[in-house]
Amino acid sequence: MYITYRSNKLKKHCLEFKEAQKAFGINAKKLMQRISEIQAAPTLDDLNKLPPTRCHPLEGNREGQFAVDLKHPMRLIFEPVGIKEEIYPNGILDLTKVVEIKIIEIEDYH
């Protein structure tokens, strides 16, 4: 899957271990693992089938976003990217059509 980032700073944190370690401490190793898993998954549906990631849709004011687990309670939060008509046929997100995501933040949203 192709990944974009909300900011260059976030991209640097996600792609450079030393930067991730400075920003997220013990979550750095798990963050690097999740980024690799996302890149290796052809679609969001494939990522959704990996139990350790626990990829799940969010609700409420985060509707339309997804999260994967890092080290509890931190989460990697992202949203699907694509042409609305293609990824939302009949108004429902088709996970098999999502081949690009945008990482928007890493935080404990609980």
Tokens 């509890």 sit on residue: 72
This prediction has a pTM of 0.89
Count of the separate structural domains present in the chain:
1
Query: Which residues contact residue 104 at a Cβ distance below 8 angstroms, ignoring those fewer than 6 apart?
Result: 6, 10, 65, 77, 78, 79
* Length of the chain measured in residues: 110
pLDDT tens for residues 59-71? Answer: 889 988 999 999 8
pLDDT digits (tens, 9 = 90+) for 91-101: 888 888 899 99
46 has pLDDT over 80: yes
Residue 28, domain extent: 2-107
End-to-end CA distance of the chain: 27
Instruction: Give the range among 22-31, 83-92, 93-102 with minimum mean pLDDT.
Output: 83-92
Q: Give the pLDDT confidence score for residue 88 in this predicted structure.
A: 83
**52: CATH:** 3.30.2310.20
